[in-house]
Amino acid sequence: MEKIKSTTVVAIKHEGQVAIGADGQATMGNTIAKSSVNKIRKLQGGKIVTGFAGSTADAFTLLEKFEEKLGAYSNNMKRAAVELAKEWRTDRMLSKLEAMMIVADAEDILIISGTGDVIEPDMGIATIGSGSMYAQSAARALKKFAANLTAEEMVKESLTIAADICIYTNHNVIIEKVNK
């Protein structure tokens, strides 16, 4: 059985605001399995927001592990991300998971991968998933040439542009703002 995957997730920090959004498409092989999947989760009362791309079951496993790490490290997002990445890379079962995560709080945006990477992206823009390069290009242009937009508006427009180009990304967008 083929795994369900493919999506675009974007997080942007702009003018003191942080927003993260994703499209709703889940793809199984070359078929759309569902068009309204929620790939964004709020943690800690919305003070931390996550988005995931890749195999859905794997992403939920990682989300649970990330929540455990947050609890173990007093809700310190950076420390929890590093500890998750270390465990993800070295644990026999976790190392087989095929997903990526973006985690964001009011101060930082991080990309966490199964290779042990915890990346704090340039320009306050993080993207993952099949349409990530389209969304990143759009977000960079919006930050440079449409700085009057809010972080939430930039996320929406970036995802819209990605959905117009990427066949694995749709226009059913969910966006959450990080609470301070």
Annotated binding site for Na(+): 163, 166, 169
Angle (CA) 89-90-94 rounded to 5° is 65
User: Which residue among the candidates 7, 8, 56, 127 is catalytic per the annotation?
Assistant: 7
The conformational region for residue 168 under phi > 0 = left, psi -120 to 50 = alpha, else beta, is alpha
The whole-angstrom separation of Cα 11 and Cα 13 is 7
Among this protein's residues, is 7 annotated catalytic?
A: yes
Q: Which 8-state DSSP code applies to residue 69?
A: H
| Residues assigned a catalytic role | 7
